[in-house]
Amino acid sequence: MRVVEAFRAAFGTDPETVWRAPGRVNLIGEHTDYNDGFVLPFAVPWGVTAAVSPRPDQTIRLLSLQGSTTEPITLATREEATGWTRYAVGVLAMLGDRVRGADIALDGDVPQGAGLSSSAALEVSVASALNELHDLGLTPMEIALLSQRAENDFVGMPCGIMDQAASALCEEGHALFLDCRTLGSRSIPLDLAAHDLRILIIDTQVHHEHAGGEYAKRRAECESAARKLGVDALRDVTDLAGALERLQGDERKRVMHVVTESHRVEALVGMLRAGATREIGALLNASHLSLRDQYEVSSPELDVAVEAAVRGGARGARMTGGGFGGSAIALVDEDRLDSVRESVAAAYAERSWTPPRFLPATPAKGAHRLS
Ligand code: GLA
């Protein structure tokens, strides 16, 4: 394994453990996680492999095969961390006194900037390795929560639990139906091939700069709306029509999205369980329209990808992840894959946009030990 070789070359010994954790796409349930609602992500075949050994001192040495240098970065204090190193150091910081320093080599193959949660994959791979090395006895959900805290409190991105939970808990061939309030989860079989279907990831190759600020703003709008409605979280809105009457402007739109989106997750899970996998496209389309018009987190590139995919014969399509660029997913009959790809590529070419990247998504396995 090349990450082990890089570890050995840089640190002079073998790593004590090697863990791999994947990125994710979200089938449905967008911007519902921090509203205590439901989500349905699945792990993608790409992820981060972390080769790790503990150190007796406070020093952290980090190496990434994707970094700009093959020399390890040595940090005397955690506050020195910048860039990608913050995700790993954040995990160590959240473990507090339980863990001192570490030597860490990372090898990642999550397409960068595609919105497939490479940061969650990095956090969960490192957290899983440290959990084993220090005998911490953390469950996969506790590892996800710790990784989320690293991102919230150390990196400063106020994300929900979805990405880290998907990376830690997903099972091969399944999506993860997660209740973001109780943190109860269930693996739902997602055998696309049995239905002659595929999920195509369309990476717009665009990432809008303001994404982080807009994400925090949406969260704040949801929290403000929940306060006005006298509920703990938008998950608790049971009378949507009544709630909408009491709100105005953006907050009204945000509530409309969050409440209907969480119901769409439950509806989609019901359809999968009933074997109606070929019929879930309408829910994907409805999710996209709601994200575009009510939650306002789409982008022209995502909208064009979704519309062109459906025009090219996809059974449904939607943006996936936080929005403002990143990727869309399309549910496509196997024999329509070429037609969908051509339709999207042509729509981008017409606008002289950078061609999108197409990736096939098969539900992969969550975090696991490699050696
Ligand atoms: C990002 C966040 C997640 C989630 C999605 C939107 O991926 O990291 O927690 O909120 O956006 O569904």
User: Is there an atom of ligand 1 within 6 Å of 114 CB?
Assistant: no
The answer to whether 199 and 192 have CB atoms below 8 angstroms apart is: yes
Categorize the per-residue pLDDT at 113 as very low, low, confident or very high, splitting at 50, 70 and 90: confident
Q: Which residues is 106 bridged to in the sheet? A: 50, 64
**Which whole number is the average pLDDT over 6-27?**
98
Tell me the whole-structure pTM to 2 decimals. 0.97
Whether 209 has a pLDDT exceeding 80, the answer reads no
User: Is there an atom of ligand 1 within 6 Å of 34 CB?
Assistant: yes
Ligand 1 pocket: which of 117, 159, 234, 254 to mutate (most atoms within 8 A of CB): 159
Categorize the per-residue pLDDT at 88 as very low, low, confident or very high, splitting at 50, 70 and 90: very high
Categorize the per-residue pLDDT at 159 as very low, low, confident or very high, splitting at 50, 70 and 90: very high
Q: Looking at ligand 1, which atom is closest to the CA of residue 117? A: 7
User: Is there an atom of ligand 1 within 6 Å of 253 CB?
Assistant: no
Instruction: Name the phi and psi angles at 61, rounded to 5.
Output: -115, 130
> Which listed residue (163, 179, 191, 293) is catalytic?
163
In this prediction, residue 70 carries a pLDDT of: 79
User: Is there an atom of ligand 1 within 6 Å of 261 CB?
Assistant: no
Q: Looking at ligand 1, which atom is closest to the CA of residue 161? A: 9
| Residue 163 is among the residues annotated as catalytic for this protein | yes
pLDDT tens string 328-364: 999 999 999 999 999 999 999 999 999 999 999 999 9
Beta strands in the chain (DSSP E): 17-26, 38-39, 41-55, 60-64, 73-75, 101-108, 174-179, 185-189, 197-207, 316-320, 325-333, 357-361, 368-369
